[in-house]
Chains A and B, each alone.
Chain A
Amino acid sequence: MRNAFADELTKLGNEDSRVVMLSGDIGNRLFDKFKDKHPSRFFNCGVAEANMMGVAAGMAMNGLRPVAYTITPFVTTRCLEQIRTDVCYHEAPVTIVAVGAGLAYSGLGPTHHACEDISFLRSIPNMVVICPGDAFEVRGALRAAMQQDRPVYIRMGKKGEPVVHKGPIADFKIGKAITIEEGSDVCLLSTGNMLPEVIEAAHKLKEKGISAEVVSFHTVKPLDEDKLKQAFSRFKLVATIEEHSLIGGFGAAVSEWLVDSETQHKKFLRFGTPDAFFKKSGEQEYAREVLGLTGHQIADKIIHALS
């Protein structure tokens, strides 16, 4: 996936003079073509990820389209506050690209594992979270991210993963899942680098006479709600598969959607702050009133649900 990323980035750099590459002192030789063509738009920011993310935000706030890249935990957890405050609060169009998501760098130990990043990043307002399933989806995701006027997180595997798609994806759209194989009994929703494993699972199910649909759910935020509606209405069983903690990941996102969905029989109500920054000043009681979190508002909603 990372070679596809570097190659597509070079193409995008040729097409758009706003594209700037920031690396946290990794990718030795990976970006040589980009550096050769655009030496003034490549920055090795060193082993200083907090600064790298702030620099990327400052660039994006001033008309550029920076890509900030390093190993997953260091481009996410290490600089989470910079992602939240500098990038997302400012709605700065920074594309954050992580390499080695999930257990892709299993051998390097837990310092390099990344099974919490979807959870962290999808909870931040304004952030888009994309987990491409193969190298062609990486290319599509990067190209689509560059056309966004907002922050995007792209969570890649490493290199050498099996390629699932037969060629470039002409209509890759953020927030629109891709059906890889059609089926009728069970729907397997895969996100990220688990896609080849899920396809294998579908083939094994077929041997047992079970028809499985396989969907590459490359965008975790925003979710493809149409696809979810179809899945939960058409199939006897829907499963989510990801290389990420069940807490806060793709499966959790779908669970949340199920609870909130108008198409589902509602047994639960949820209360909380919305996916937005509360920008204005005000005391706690004022904020609660605006967000529908005062005692009387909560009571009203419960009464309404019971009626």
Chain B
Amino acid sequence: MNVAVRSPAAKPDAAALKAQAAKLRGKIIEMSHKAQAAHLASSLSCADAMTAAYWHVLNIDPKNPTDPLRDRFILSKGHAAAALFATLAMKGYFPIEELDTYCQDGGRLAEHPPANLLPGVEAATGSLGHGLPLGCGMALAGRIKGENYRVFALLSDGENNEGSVWEAAMFAAAQKLENVCVVVDYNKWQATARSNETLMLAPLRDKWAAFGWDAHEIDGHDVSALAEAMQNIPNGSGKPVALIAHTVKGKGVSFMEDDNNWHYRAPTAEEVVKSFKELGLS
């Protein structure tokens, strides 16, 4: 067994993580404004989970992005690419200035994460329902090769509409993939409607539990709680772990929160200034 070296299970620094999440949100808002790109609210809702993963949980080295023993993080909700790109740049996978090329002609930062093009992107996503099957394959590859890395997949709640998610959920449970963790960004919206009015997800925790997962509900904006839960993978249950993270779409900016128009809208320059004030960045 090739054992990945993990940082000790330090208590998350709540204030530092919170400040980092605000910075991440600011960068995402800047990117959305400059590119006039959609999916801003979806990116903001998962910013705390991204912060917990990349600034506290993942065993990764941006200077060695293909280290076989690294933890894998898959942004299965690929439309939140801005959150992933900003995170990777802030972690040093590529120059922060490259974020200015988001959605620009000839750039590497398209509206969804690309395959084999950008360091730190583990899987091309954008078509929903692919991240967890890929993650299960990655986890099994680790098991077969005796490498005990962990695999995290961040799913949107709308993504739980896809049958392939539940195929993978059953598969992971059957294979006892205790190194696999799903975080569902449960912001109660999908592209055009309330998620529970589209396909009934509730009770979502019970559904994942019924599929054989160790499933928990969690405040998806409590970065420290997310960090502690994700850090504790595998958690001794012998099962894959699902964290149903209750979130607010557009979280962090009062005039975007829970307003689904921001699934497609991009902010004006004035709205950027206003957002930054609310985030304590100006």
Report which A residues bind B (CB closer than 8 A).
20, 40-41, 43, 45-46, 48, 50-64, 66, 81-82, 85-86, 89-91, 277, 279-283, 286
Contact = CB atoms under 8 A, between A and B. Distances in A.
Contacts, number: 131
Contacts of B104: 281-282
B273 interface: no
B279 to A, nearest CB: 26
A48 B124 CA distance: 21
B133 A82 contact: yes
A286 B168 CA distance: 38
A51 B106 contact: no
Contact of B164 (A51, A57, A60, A279): A51
Nearest to A282: B105
A59 B104 CA distance: 33
Nearest to B143: A40
Contacts of A56: 137
A50 to B, nearest CB: 4
B103 interface: yes
Contacts of B123: 58, 61, 86, 90
Interface string B123-154: 11001011011111111111111000000000
A10 B217 CA distance: 45
A86 B130 contact: yes
A93 to B, nearest CB: 12
A59 B164 contact: no
B68 interface: yes
Nearest to A285: B105
Contacts of B106: 280-282, 286
B133 A51 contact: yes
30 contacts: A40-B144, A46-B167, A48-B167, A48-B170, A50-B164, A51-B164, A51-B168, A52-B133, A53-B133, A54-B133, A54-B136, A54-B168, A58-B123, A58-B135, A58-B136, A58-B138, A58-B140, A58-B141, A61-B138, A62-B137, A62-B145, A81-B127, A82-B164, A85-B124, A85-B127, A85-B130, A86-B134, A279-B117, A281-B107, A282-B104
A282 B69 CA distance: 34
A48 B171 contact: yes
A150 to B, nearest CB: 12
Q: B110, B170, B171: which has the most chain A beta carbons within 10 Å?
A: B171
A283 B142 CA distance: 39
Interface residues of B, number: 43
Nearest to B142: A62
A283 B105 contact: yes
Q: A45, A46, A51, A52: which has the most chain B beta carbons within 10 Å?
A: A51
A63 B124 contact: no
A91 to B, nearest CB: 6
A92 to B, nearest CB: 9
Nearest to B104: A281
B144 A20 contact: yes
Contact of A45 (B111, B138, B171): B171
Contacts of B105: 280-283, 286
A64 B164 contact: no
Q: A60, A81, A279, A283: which has the most chain B beta carbons within 10 Å?
A: A279
B133 A280 contact: no
Contacts of B127: 81, 85
Given A45-B171, A50-B163, A50-B167, A58 B142 contact: no
A226 to B, nearest CB: 31
Nearest to B122: A61
Given A51-B164, A281-B106, A282-B106, A46 B133 contact: no
Nearest to A64: B141
Given A40-B144, A61-B123, A55 B136 contact: yes
Interface string B64-92: 00001000000000000000000000000
B109 interface: yes
A4 B116 CA distance: 35
Contacts of B107: 280-282
